Amino acid sequence: MGKSGVKRAPSARKEGTQVENAPILKRDMSYTQNRELSWLKFNERVLAQAVDPTVPLMERMRFVSIFTSNLDEFFMVRVGSLIDMDMLAPEEEDNKSGMTPRDQVSAICAAVVPLIERRDAIYRELSNELDNAGVTETSFEELTAAQKAYVQEYYKENIRPLLSPQVIDRSHPFPHLKNKALYAAALLTLSGKPASGKQAGSKQSGGKQAAGKQATGKQPAVLGIVDVPASLPRVIMLPGGGVRFIRTEAVIAAHLKKIFKIYDVSEQAVISITRNADISLSEEHYDEENPDFLNYMRKLLKKRDRLAPVRLELEGRAPRLAKRLTDFLKLTPERVYSCDCPLKLDYIDQIEHCPAALFNVPHAPVYPDYLLADRPIWEQVVQRDVLLFYPYQSMQPFLDLLRQSAKDPDVLSIKITIYRLARNSAIAKALCAAAENGKEVTVLMELRARFDEQNNIDWTVELEEAGCRIIYGPENLKCHAKLCLITRRERGGLGYIAQIGTGNYNEKTSTLYTDFCMMTADAAITRDAVSFFENMLIGNSEGEYEKLLVAPNAMKNRIMAMIDEQIARGADGRIRIKANSVTDRQLIDKLSEASCAGVRIDLIIRGICCLVPGVPGKTENITVTSVVGRFLEHSRIYAFGEGVEMKLYLSSADFMTRNQDRRVEVGGPVRSPELKTFLEEYLNLLLADNTRAWRHQTDGTYTRLTPGDAQPIDVQAWYLEHPIEFAKSQAPRENLKDRFRRLWRR
Per the residue annotation, which of 255, 480, 634, 696 is the catalytic one?
A: 480
What are the structural domain ranges in the chain?
A: 25-130, 140-331, 377-537, 550-745
Q: Where would I find the beta strands (DSSP E) of 162-251?
A: 166-168, 182-190, 222-227, 235-237, 243-247
DSSP count for the chain of H helices, then E strands: 21, 29
pLDDT at 219: 64
300 has a pLDDT exceeding 90: no
pLDDT at 452: 85
Q: Determine which of 219-233, 597-611, 662-676, 678-692 has the lowest per-residue pLDDT on average.
A: 219-233
Whether the CB-CB separation of 339 and 313 falls below 8 Å is answered with yes
Q: Is the pTM of this model over 0.85?
A: yes
Whether the CB-CB separation of 177 and 163 falls below 8 Å is answered with no
Q: Determine which of 206-215, 517-526, 677-686 has the lowest per-residue pLDDT on average.
A: 206-215
Architecture (CATH level 2) of domain 377-537: 2-Layer Sandwich (3.30)
Q: How confident is the model at residue 482 (pLDDT cuts 50, 70, 90)?
A: very high
| pLDDT tens, residue by residue, 237-277 | 999 888 999 999 999 999 999 999 999 999 999 999 999 98
Cα-Cα-Cα-Cα dihedral of 396, 399, 403, 404, to 10°?
70
Q: Determine which of 272-276, 291-295, 574-578, 621-625 has the lowest per-residue pLDDT on average.
A: 291-295
Distance CA 510, CA 391 (A): 6
Distance CA 370, CA 388 (A): 11
pLDDT top residue among 240 and 444: 444
pLDDT at 213: 38
12 closest CA partner among 87, 76, 103: 87
The DSSP code sequence of 260-298 is TTTEEEEEEEEEEEEE-----GGGS-HHHH---HHHHHH
Whether 377-537 shares its CATH topology with 550-745 is answered yes
217 has a pLDDT exceeding 70: no
Domain covering 140-331, topology: polyphosphate kinase like (3.30.1840)
pLDDT at 294: 73
121 has a pLDDT exceeding 60: yes
The neighbour count for residue 57, using CB atoms within 10 Å, is 20
79 has a pLDDT exceeding 80: yes
Homologous superfamily (CATH) of 25-130 is Polyphosphate kinase N-terminal domain (1.20.58.310)
Q: How confident is the model at residue 735 (pLDDT cuts 50, 70, 90)?
A: very low
pLDDT (average), residues 94-121: 97
pLDDT at 278: 74
633 has a pLDDT exceeding 80: yes
**Amino acid of residue 623:** T
Map 97-126 to HEC letters. CCCCHHHHHHHHHHHHHHHHHHHHHHHHHH
15 has a pLDDT exceeding 60: no
Average pLDDT, the chain: 89
Distance CA 577, CA 651 (A): 11
pLDDT at 290: 44
Q: In 3-state terms, what secondary structure has residue 377? A: helix
* Percent of the chain predicted with pLDDT > 90: 80
| pLDDT tens, residue by residue, 48-59 | 999 999 999 999
Q: How confident is the model at residue 142 (pLDDT cuts 50, 70, 90)?
A: very high
Q: Determine which of 213-222, 405-414, 562-571 has the lowest per-residue pLDDT on average.
A: 213-222
* Percent of the chain predicted with pLDDT > 70: 87
689 has a pLDDT exceeding 50: yes
pLDDT at 6: 35
**Amino acid of residue 646:** M
pLDDT top residue among 24 and 324: 324
Architecture (CATH level 2) of domain 550-745: 2-Layer Sandwich (3.30)
Catalytic, 480? Answer yes
pLDDT at 449: 81
pLDDT (average), residues 16-44: 77
201 has a pLDDT exceeding 60: no
592 closest CA partner among 562, 622, 568, 572: 622
